[in-house]
């Protein structure tokens, strides 16, 4: 009987407690993201990010957060650095996931402003990143080049994003890139024309166009919008 009690004690306190101890920190970080964005407290009123009644805009797979979507003109704050600072992957039995496992991050039609935080480069599982129709500004963080699994990138219609897009050459699996309606400048880098990219929407920026690269480099482009 004593042995059964000891086993029960370790099952209860050795397994459940550590999992529950990590989960609140993940929920707190998600709340920080919504709060910094200016979201209503009704968007994050519980402790379980994988419960749609607790957190708005979160997608989970097997108890792990894999998608996050923030949209709406009422969001007029900033994108918190917490976007990439959450704990490593938790078990499927945990009540929360980890944003380092995000495959999709979609932020559009908001009034979010300020720079894109460098911690976004820690989301190395991302395959889809949409930061469009908002008010982001400044240069792209160099850490975005770490997003080697990224396939779709949409940065369109922020107007305040500027500088070079050379940092994106590290995104070696990109198939679609949209930077239109911004203030990016410099020569369009060669990777746009001779990589896996099939669609590039680059219009309404301040780019210069290397015509010799466009016509001489092998390209998979089927859709190219300049101007």
| Per-residue confidence (pLDDT) for residue 96, from 0 to 100 | 35
The CATH number of residue 119's host domain is 3.80.10.10
Q: Does the pLDDT value for residue 163 go beyond 90?
A: yes
pLDDT tens-digit profile of 51-85? 888 888 989 888 888 899 999 878 999 999 988 85
H/E stretch holding 67: strand 64-72
Q: What is the mean pLDDT of the chain?
A: 81
- The Cα 131–Cα 83 span in angstroms is 13
Distance of CA 192 to CAs 8, 179, 180, 215, Å? 59, 12, 14, 12
According to DSSP, the β-strands at 58-61 and 128-132 are unpaired
Q: Averaged over 41-47, what is the pLDDT? A: 84
The two three-digit tokens of residue 22, written as one number: 């990590």
Alpha helical stretches, state H, the chain:
2-10, 17-37, 191-194, 211-216
Tally the domains of the chain: 1
**Is pLDDT above 90 for 115?**
yes
Higher-pLDDT residue of 4, 75: 75
Contact criterion met (CB below 8 Å) for 37 and 75? yes
Q: How many helices (H) and strands (E) does the chain have?
A: 4, 13
Write the CB contacts of 45 (distance below 8 Å, at least 6 apart in sequence).
54
H or E element: which one contains 133? Answer: none
**Among 82-91, 106-115, 167-176, the least confident range:** 82-91
Q: Residue 164: which domain range?
A: 2-225
Q: Tell me the DSSP string of 82-105.
A: GGG---SPPPTTSS---GGG-SEE
Percent of the chain with pLDDT over 90: 49
For residue 22, how far is the Cα from the chain centroid?
22
Whether 150 shows a pLDDT value over 70: the answer reads yes
Query: What are the pLDDT digits (tens) for 151-160?
Result: 999 999 998 9
Q: How confident is the model at residue 90 (pLDDT cuts 50, 70, 90)?
A: very low
Tell me if 155 sits within 8 A of 108, measured CB to CB: no
Give the position of tokens 């982001």: 136
């Amino acid at each position: 009987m004593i042995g059964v009690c000891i086993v029960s004690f370790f099952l209860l306190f050795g397994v459940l407690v550590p999992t529950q101890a990590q989960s609140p920190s993940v929920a707190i970080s998600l709340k920080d993201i919504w709060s910094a964005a200016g979201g209503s407290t009704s968007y994050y009123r519980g402790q379980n990010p994988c419960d749609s009644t607790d957190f708005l805009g979160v997608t989970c797979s097997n108890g792990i957060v894999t998608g996050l979507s923030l949209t709406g003109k009422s969001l007029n704050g900033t994108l918190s650095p917490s976007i990439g600072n959450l704990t490593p992957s938790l078990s499927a039995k945990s009540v929360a996931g980890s944003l380092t496992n995000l495959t999709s991050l979609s932020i559009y039609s908001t009034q979010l402003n300020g720079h894109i935080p460098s911690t976004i480069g820690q989301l190395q599982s991302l395959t889809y990143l949409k930061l469009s129709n908002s008010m982001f500004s400044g240069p792209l963080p160099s850490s975005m080049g770490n997003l080697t699994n990224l396939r779709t990138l949409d940065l369109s219609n922020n107007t305040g994003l500027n500088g070079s897009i050379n940092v994106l050459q590290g995104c070696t699996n990109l198939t679609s890139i949209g930077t239109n309606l911004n203030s990016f400048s410099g020569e369009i880098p060669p990777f746009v024309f001779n990589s896996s990219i099939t669609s590039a929407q680059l219009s309404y920026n301040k780019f210069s166009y290397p015509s010799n690269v466009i016509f001489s480099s092998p390209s998979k482009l089927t859709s190219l919008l300049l101007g």
